[in-house]
Amino acid sequence: MIIKLRQNADKAQVEHLTHWIQEYGVEIHTVTGKMDTILGLVGDTSRVPLERIQSLEIVEDVKRIQEPYKNANRKFHPDDTVVQAEEARIGGGHFGLIAGPCSVETEEQIIQVARNVKAAGATMLRGGAFKPRTSPYSFQGLRGKGVRMLLNAKEETGLPIVTEIMDLSQLPLFEEVDVIQVGARNMQNFELLKELGHLRKPILLKRGLANTLEELLMSAEYILAGGNEQVILCERGIRTFETATRNTLDLSAVPVLHQLTHLPVVVDPSHATGKAALVPSMALAATAAGADGLMIEVHNDPAHALCDGPQSLTPDAFADLSRRIFTFRETLCGLSSQPEKEEAE
């Protein structure tokens, strides 16, 4: 962080400021020129309150030259984080294939889809029980009953489950859930994020519709700062002026996030495009971009799905895509193909 002081700043006030900043454990290097005085702060400046410094009379300008997140920052944690749910791992070379319907609709539906996606190589089962719908008249999800159906599907197939929480009050229902999803609309629900930081369970954090990657990382920071290190980031498309697709898939988010953070990054081409026909190409593109996994909506009967049918793959289309993804990883990237059956360590 660099602080530029006003010309003829009061000496006593400058001294007071430097002492106060030193309390944050950073070193201060002062450069005094003919006209200006500059303070260079070295060390972990993530807790130094930029806005309070900015508002001081003796300060002309403040610039952060270091990212405002520490726990999520690759600089402080160079090795990739590997997130684990049951036997499934994501990150550090482990590829996660998360698949399932947008919403859990019936026990038969979720069990059938779970069997189908498992046979096709999925490593985790997704399914929404609490659904954030734009219209209050749309299907809102089966709530607690839906979570229980997912748990039954897990028992049938062994696939760990991923499902979305929308509100803190729902937390008791998520005790047996393997991965808790925070949806795009809740990416900046800071109270929720803080609470999830107290858990010791993987969180899949989706990028908000209109959020920058730095904001996504600051939201992850909330969870990490609470001591929960198991965070998966998810790029799911952002709002742009383009209307041909539901959202615009920001694929460059994958390599950018890999530079900035050690957390695994998965891509959701279903919500990004909104169209089943576009999902395979974007899933493969995300794989080529180095994504640590994919989250793909699969429905046994997309035409009659209660939510997001147009973007859902049939089980057959998913099986075909899964083969292409694993072949692609093997042949082009030299990466392992099928989901790991890890040997005991």
CA dist 242 → 15, 62, 247, 273 (Å): 52, 36, 8, 11
| Residue among 1, 41, 99, 102 that touches ligand PEP (CB under 6 A) | 102
Partner interacting with residue 329 (select from Mn ion, ligand PEP, none; CB below 5-8 Å by kind): none
Considering only residues 257 through 316, tell me which ones interact with Mn ion, judged by CB under 5 A. Answer: 308
CB of 166 to Mn ion, least distance (A): 13
Sketch the per residue contact string, 149 through 188, with ligand PEP: x for CB under 6 A, - otherwise: ---------------x------------------xxx---
Is 100 a residue that touches ligand PEP (CB under 6 A)? no
| Ordered alpha helix ranges (H), the chain | 11-22, 50-54, 107-119, 143-157, 190-197, 213-225, 253-260, 269-273, 279-288, 315-331
Partner interacting with residue 236 (select from Mn ion, ligand PEP, none; CB below 5-8 Å by kind): ligand PEP
The C-alpha atoms of residue 134 and residue 184 are separated, in whole angstroms, by 12
Considering only residues 115 through 144, tell me which ones interact with ligand PEP, judged by CB under 6 A. Answer: 128, 132
Handedness of CA 237, 240, 244, 250 (dihedral sign): negative
CA dist 265 → 13, 86, 289, 301 (Å): 45, 19, 11, 29
- 226 or 274: CB nearest Mn ion: 274
Query: What angle separates helix 279-288 from helix 315-331, to the nearest 10 degrees?
Result: 20
CB of 160 to ligand PEP, least distance (A): 16
CB of 285 to Mn ion, least distance (A): 20
Structure tokens at 164: 């979305």
Q: Which single residue is written with the structure tokens 């660099």?
A: 2
Is 206 a residue that touches ligand PEP (CB under 6 A)? yes
CB of 307 to ligand PEP, least distance (A): 8
The C-alpha atoms of residue 265 and residue 294 are separated, in whole angstroms, by 9
Is 246 a residue that touches ligand PEP (CB under 6 A)? no
Cα dihedral 273, 277, 281, 283, rounded to 10, equals 60
Considering only residues 66 through 105, tell me which ones interact with Mn ion, judged by CB under 5 A. Answer: 102
- The residue ranges that bind ligand PEP (CB under 6 A) are 102, 128, 132, 164, 183-185, 206, 236, 271
